[in-house]
Structure 1
Amino acid sequence: MRTDPVTEDLLRELAPQVLGVLVRRHGQFEECEDAVQEAVLAAAVGWPVDGLPDSPRAWLITAASRRLIDQMRSDHARKARESTAVAQAPELRGEAGDDVPDTDDTLILLFLCCHPVLTPASQTALTLRAVGGLTTAEIAHAFLVPEGTMAARISRAKQRIKAAGSQFGLPEPQEREERLRVVLHVLYLIFNEGYTASSGSDLHRTGLSHEAIRLTRMLHRQLPDDGEVTGLLALMLLTDSRRHTRTTPGGDLVPLAEQDRTRWDADLIAEGITLISTAMAHSPIGPYQLQAAIAAVHAEAGKAEDTDWHQVHALYKILERIAPNPMVTLNRAVALAEIKGPRAGLDLLATLDGDVRMAEHHRLHAVRAHLLEKAGDPRAARENYELAARTTASLTERRYLESRAARLPAPEPS
């Protein structure tokens, strides 16, 4: 039975709050998460038929608490723990329960899912499962791995958190800032995988990008004065505003310069520009704010030729200084080529040739091909387009790169 969209959205919003309440009361992250998933399933089946309870959040807390305590009582190996847990649990009377805290522990839950003992892949999977409310099957489908593989990854992540003896609470101040950056990076990775899938036949995995935006909005509500949280939300909104114009009806890739900007989402652009303008006026400048500012420059250009490339290049130079990264340099090369010509961009790209992080990355070859074509070297451009096509796992990008190569003359026989 399929859940109606209103109920589905409500359950995804409430699930991390309910999980936070249970983990705060009982610990036992894995057992609490299982109980919440069972309660969510019961609500998904029952609410569309019976109607929403007066307090959906309280209903879920009560239902999940009952399932958790029933689970404890049925496990004879946990009898010693059971008496403590049951004594600590609230009296479960009535549909809505009588002890429902008003606090939202989603931020703490995000910190827990992004614990430093986990790998980035595990942090991402656990965040989508525990905070995003996605099923293991949905996460496995999004990352193109078998459900059993993803289930094992999530289970190992929970066990590693348990073994680390993590307490349910915000980290100490000295650790909190660092952990928040990990949370932001995980949300950034989720969005990017949804906006440009790293492999497979579809360019977008819209469910992932939308979930990243939803979770970042949730984080922004809890930390409205953090400039980097605001910057990341602005970056996602400004980037996602272009999603509908990135492919043709047949699924072929449309590059930024050729997109129909009248179809960009004006509401997302307006919100994103407001957010980034506020953040940069009141907060120390950080990498996500700079990326959002670059996205805003593109969004404000009514036509590709109206883009303020000097401003884009200046922002990339600042970004390169405070957060050095070969992808930043690659993007700066594109901006530099628009200002000083393709040869200047190619010279900057050449500085990345010895970077092992870029050795097999298709974007380096694709950008070099683009600049070589603009510089009047079509055979070298074709060679690099073909190399880029061979090194991408995205079928949409591969088709685009192969089509660019096919327009150009083949290399002369040696």
Structure 2
Amino acid sequence: MAKAGRVVVKVGSSSLTTPQGTIDGDRVDALVDVLARRRLAGAQVVLVSSGAIAAGLGPLGLTARPRDLATQQAAASVGQGVLVARYTSSFARYGLRVGQVLLTADDMIRRSHHRNAQRTLVRLLELGIVPVVNENDTVATDEIRFGDNDRLAALVSHLVHAEGLVLLSDVDALYDGDPRRPGARRLSEVRGPADLEGVELGRSGRVGTGGMITKVQAARIATGAGVPVVLTAAAHAAAALDGRDDVGTFFHPAGQHPGTRLLWLAHAATGRGRLSLDAGAVEAVVERRKSLLPAGVTGVDGDFAAGDPVDLCGPAGEVVARGLVNFDAGEIPGLLGRSTRDLAAELGPEYERELIHRDDIVVLTP
């Protein structure tokens, strides 16, 4: 981590705000002090910051995080401006500028959108800007949400080809049990799933949506894409970036960089519908990594449009893959069980194509 030339740092709401939900200026400045030093030392830094909804609670006169989506979005609209203004003034102490980048999962799944997000982030880094990334809570709905910024940070680290990811929260490391109980043991490093056997993953945080579960899931996403991860408390940010092994938990990288869009499709997308496959189609898609043809589909469920993500299900209903479909839901029933050649002869050459091309399918089974 100490040698990473491009690093993504994620900080949670509880590490930035007071118990009343307002931004804690001292905490923001302390974090910026660490990130600015790393940036001025020559590294490129991307900050994924929660806190927009929490920052909006005070100005709106709310005493707790709202439960309904509309009020959450209203709080995010107010709070995002407060949050970025605070980061802008804090980084300005070091002569550094920030750029706000708001993302939705739906934006990242679609080919042209995710490429544009990647180009924007990389160009900001080239220009010496510190991107401040957050989910676009003002427009994201339940169907197109990342769900938490831990997962967003893992995906952003892959999007920008980061060399390290630091997840900061109000817990200083991953423990094998509740760290508030005597005898809980800190896990200094995790090399694979076997190291997590028997580990209790509870929730934490006062005003955020994440917890230790989401952080471990994020670490799996990032390390599976070849990005090493450190999980620790915001107070230990400097030590984590310095690569000290006496703080936090280090997750070793375990994979190579897969296609960026497929990573988003696997971890950021929610199927808008379902296609039921026969055994032969499952074997073709999962084992031989072939495109999905109408002949192997036995049923369709949901209301989706061409280009939307859909879940591909086996004969028993289990989800085996996810892909971007080439037809609207209403078109598919008339295509099922038929060859593309017959469909083209009857309906026209535009029907001589796959339901889902293999380049737009990610397999979800082991």
Q: TM-score, normalised by structure 2?
A: 0.25
Q: RCO (CA 8 Å, sep 6+): is it higher in 1 or 2?
A: 2
TM-score w.r.t. length of structure 1: 0.22
Q: Which has the higher strand share?
A: 2
Higher helix share: 1
